[in-house]
Amino acid sequence: MTTKIHAICDALGNPVELGITPGQDADITQAEPLLENIDPDAFLADKAYDADRLIDRLIQRGITPVIPPKRSRTTRRKTDFSLYRERNLVER
């Protein structure tokens, strides 16, 4: 058995929301629940979070999605890769 720790962090890398799930659960399942209590300007995440439902929800809330499109996407979304690189702070 494994577990995953999910975190939403501020621009300085400080965690503001945390969640724990079984290791086999998909990461994207925790995005919306963790975003419920916060109102960020942007949401930086990897390709695992590239789902229309999440992207649409972020846009409805006025949150800029900074998520690279999956290779299989037929319609490519633009991604601010200079902002996306800031995700590295949390990943390390």
Per-domain residue ranges of the chain: 3-89
What is the radius of gyration, based on Cα positions, of the chain?
13
Q: Which residue in this structure is represented by tokens 């649409």? A: 56
Locate 22 and state its tokens: 């079984």
Q: Which one-letter DSSP state was computed for residue 29?
A: G
Q: What is the pLDDT of residue 9?
A: 94
Whether residue 92 has pLDDT greater than 80:
no
Q: What is the pLDDT of residue 8?
A: 94
Whether residue 28 has pLDDT greater than 90:
yes
Question: How far is 74 from 22, CA to CA, in rounded Å?
Answer: 31
Whether residue 90 has pLDDT greater than 90:
no
Q: What residues form DSSP beta bridges with 19? A: 6
Q: What is the pLDDT of residue 75?
A: 85
Residue 9 one-letter amino acid: C
